[in-house]
Amino acid sequence: MQRRQLLRLSGAGVLCTPTILRSARAASAAPEPVDVELILAVDVSRSIDAEEHETQMRGYAAAFRDPEVIRSIKGGGIGAISCTLFTWSDSDSQEDLVPWMRIGDEESAERFAAAIDAAPRRTWSYTSISGAMEHSLQLYAQGRFEGTRRVLDISGDGMNNSGRRLETVRSRMLEEGIVTNGLAVLDRAPGPGNGAAALEDYYREEVIGGPGAFLVVAEGFDAFDRAVRRKIAREIAGIECGPRFAGMPVVDRVSA
C-alpha cells in the first residue's frame, strides 16, 4: 500500500514536470529573430481631418498588400519582419491599434493589412512627435522580437508643439540605435509656420536620424498611398538594399 502510494505520488510528479518546464520556457523565451522591427506611427492630430485619416490608414493597409513590399520582406536574410502600428497626437495621446506581428509571407501580410482596416478611426488634438518617439521606445522595450535593425516610420503634417523637446527624445532614439524615417505630408492648407518648405526642412533636420535615415515627402494626401508604399519597401530593404534603392536621395518627393 505504501509503495503504491509512493508510485502514485511519483507519477504525479512526473506528469507535472513537463508543464512546469513549458511554463519556465515560456517565461524565458528568447525574442524571435527578424530582419527589422518596424513601428508605424500615424499622426491623428487635429490638423488631420476624417478623410485624411482614412487616407492614411488605407495607404498603410494597401502597402502590406503590395507585391514590392512583400518582396522586400521576403528578400531579407531572415525573410521576415515584425511590425506594429499606433496613432499619436499630443504628448499623452498614443493608441496602439495593431499589436506586434511577425510578417514573412502574403498571408501574414494580409492579416496585418486586415487589422489596419479594422482599426478604429479617431483624431485628437496637438502634435507631439516627441511623445510618439517616447511611445516607440516603450514598444521596443517589450522585447518580443529581435531585429537586425529597429526602424520607426513616423508620418505627419505638422511640427512638434506638445510634450518634451524633440531634440532630447531624438537623442535617446539615436543612442538606442533606432533609425527614424519620416513621411511628411504637405497639407493643402498648412498652419502658420507649417509651409511646405518649412515642414520638409523640419523633418529632414529635426526628426529623421540614424544610419540610412530618409524622408519621403508626399505632396498632399492624394499622394499618400504611393508615398507610403515606396517608403515601407525602402525601409524594409535597409541600407544595403541593392540596385532598386541604391543611391536614392535622403529626401524622396512623391506627387499625386
How much is the CA Rg of the chain, to the nearest whole Å? Answer: 22
Per DSSP, the three-state class of 103 is strand
For residue 46, what is its C-alpha cell? Answer: 487635429
> CA angle at residue 156 from 151 to 162, to 5 degrees?
100
Instruction: Convert the pLDDT of each residue in 162-218 to its tens digit.
Output: 999 999 999 999 999 999 999 998 865 544 455 567 889 999 999 999 999 999 998
For residue 73, what is its C-alpha cell? Answer: 520582406
Residue span of the structural domain in which 5 resides: 1-30
Q: Are residues 94 and 26 in the same domain?
A: no
Q: Please, which residues have CB within 8 angstroms of residue 58's CB and are 6 or more apart in sequence?
A: 225
Q: Are residues 1 and 93 in the same domain?
A: no
For residue 107, what is its C-alpha cell? Answer: 498571408
Per DSSP, the three-state class of 190 is coil
CA–CA gap between residue 224 and residue 210 (Å, rounded): 24
Number of domains in the chain: 2
* pTM to 2 decimal places: 0.83
Q: Are residues 15 and 92 in the same domain?
A: no
Instruction: Tell me the CATH number at 171.
Output: 3.40.50.410
State the pLDDT at residue 221: 83
Q: Are residues 132 and 8 in the same domain?
A: no
61 membership: H or E segment, kind and range: helix 50-63
Instruction: Convert the pLDDT of each residue in 120-154 to its tens digit.
Output: 888 778 899 999 999 999 999 998 999 999 999 99
CA 101, 155, 225, 216 dihedral sign is negative
Is 77:35 a contact under the CB 8 Å cutoff?
A: yes
Q: Are residues 18 and 83 in the same domain?
A: no
What are 82's strand-pairing partners? 37, 102
Instruction: Convert the pLDDT of each residue in 215-241 to its tens digit.
Output: 999 888 888 889 999 999 998 987 544
Q: Are residues 134 and 245 in the same domain?
A: yes
Q: E strands along the chain, which residues? A: 32-43, 81-88, 94-103, 145-156, 179-185, 215-218, 251-254
Q: Are strands 81-88 and 94-103 parallel, antiparallel or unpaired?
A: antiparallel
Backbone angles phi, psi at 179, to 5 degrees: -90, 130
